[in-house]
Amino acid sequence: MKKLNLILLLMCLPIVFTSAQEFGNRINEDESKVPQYTLPDVLMCNNGMKVKTVKEWESIRRLELLEIFSSQEYGRTPTEKMNVSYDVLSEDTNALNGKATRKQILFTFTNGKKNIEAILLLYMPNNVKGKAPVFIGYNFLGNQSVTEEKAVFASPSLHLVEGANSNVWTRGSQKNRWPIEMIIDRGYAVATMYYGDIYPDDKELRDHSIVSLFSDYDKYSIHHDEWNAIGAWAWGSSRVADYIINNESKIDSNRIALIGHSRQGKAALWAGAQDTRFKVVISNCSGCGGAALSKRVFGENIARITSSFPHWFCPAFNRYAGNESNMPFDQHELLALIAPRHLYVASAEEDIWADQKGEYLAAYYTKDVYKLYGMEGLDSPIPPAINQPIQNDVAYHIRTGIHDVTDFDWTQYLNYCDKYMR
């Protein structure tokens, strides 16, 4: 009998394994097939009490939600302080034909035994009297990819990337995503770092990430709330903020905007949820695990993202693969953690994979929290027309085109920051 049970169990196992994978392959991009779902009420506390005041939100519900996202999705950010030293590698007050001061700062993170290096590339406007506001954001292909300027160093961790000498990694290859001169002309500073310097985006390279410097590091940890790449990238944004706040007197510490595209949009939202020094948080095409509601199961779903990128989320998130209907939380609650600071969610018309409607709705359903603060969220559950931004305290646009960051996007972000960070 016992033997029979074992045989039956063994026969069932492949079904269990294939079904998670199957869910990942079963991608729905048809609005009429979105399942019926009920979103958790962002103001409802774990004990059933409904939040009515800012005080209750900040002292009870906000903390509960931070705990949910730490234990169920992104993993727990360590509280241990990491040693970091800064070396200014270069400073040019005459960059961009005299419009900007360009600095490159080497960050060396260390636990005494092992070091990890990252380079921050910072442009500050020369014509701003007083302190300038700043955009902080990661780039995808190294600092040398965001500009044609020859003096910009390649990012330190590029040697870990296979094929990093191919064309996509060349100087200026991503300059369209980083209209530095336009940002400077509008009176903003911009600071960018290669995200791979903080956590190389490969499940085999955990040993080269900042995660490996912490005292409780276990390469093979499958602990349910083990932090991973998105958690590390979010942590890294806060370290860039530390540097700027403590070392750059020409930048206004009270006017820091955090911007992230796609996987970095996910990380920006998580960073913005945890670190209140980010006064504006911008999610550009962040999709699944970012701004998009998981319960719509539209476009990329949890089964697919956790199997394609097993090193992004904490192990507990796998529980929801093909099981979104049982999630006790959803992404609108992550976005609500940014209140009362300013939140901008943006989508692209052709970026179906990121579920534009799900991105809009998550931003829309933050409204009750913004209302507690007397602020205006998005007014309608129906998204605006293409290229028609709404810039209330919570902002949204969907523009024509593909999954990318364009001048149109940046123009809207600059307008929004002019409105709320002045």
Q: Is 378 in the site for ligand GTR (CB under 6 A)?
A: no
Residue by residue, DSSP assigns 273-285 as HH-TT-SEEEEES
Q: Which residue out of 262, 283, 286, 294 is catalytically annotated?
A: 262
Residue 112's region, left for phi above 0, alpha for psi from -120 to 50, else beta, is: left
287 binding ligand GTR? (CB under 6 A)? yes
**Rounded distance, CA 361 to CA 379, Å?**
11
Q: Is 300 in the site for ligand GTR (CB under 6 A)?
A: yes
Q: Hey, which bits of 111-171 come out as E strands?
A: 115-125, 132-139
Question: For the window 172-211, what string marks contact with ligand GTR as x by the rule CB under 6 A?
Answer: ----------------------------------------
Amino acid at 277: R
Q: Judged by CB, which is closer to ligand GTR: 287, or 389?
A: 287
Least distance in angstroms from the C-beta of 86 to ligand GTR:
28
Sign (positive/negative) of CA torsion 9, 12, 14, 19?
negative
Answer yes or no: 403 catalytic.
Answer: yes
Residue 303 makes contact with ligand GTR by CB under 6 A: no
* Closer residue to ligand GTR (CB): 102 or 261: 261
Q: Is the Cβ of residue 101 or residue 155 nearer to ligand GTR in the bound state? A: 155
| 305 sits near ligand GTR (criterion: CB under 6 A) | yes
Instruction: Decide: is 288 part of the binding site for ligand GTR (CB under 6 A).
Output: yes
Complete edge-to-edge strand list for the sheet that includes strand 280-284? 83-94, 100-110, 115-125, 189-194, 132-139, 251-261, 280-284, 342-348, 394-399, 390-391
Between residues 300 and 393, which has the closer beta carbon with respect to ligand GTR?
Answer: 300
Residue 225 engages ligand GTR in binding (rule: CB under 6 A): no
Please say which residue, 360 or 420, places its beta carbon nearer to ligand GTR: 360
| 118 close to 155: Cβ distance less than 8 angstroms | yes
Q: What CA–CA distance (Å, rounded) separates 173 from 175? A: 6
* DSSP bridge partners of 281: 258, 343
Does 345 interact with ligand GTR (rule: CB under 6 A)?
no
Q: How far is the CB of 304 from ligand GTR (least distance, A)?
A: 7
Q: Is residue 262 annotated as a catalytic residue, yes or no?
A: yes
Residue 262 in contact with ligand GTR, rule: CB under 6 A: yes
For the four alpha carbons of 34, 38, 41 and 45, in that order, the dihedral sign comes to negative
* DSSP SS3 for 39: coil
Binding site residues, ligand GTR, CB under 6 A: 262-263, 287-288, 300, 305
The residues annotated as belonging to the active site are 262, 403
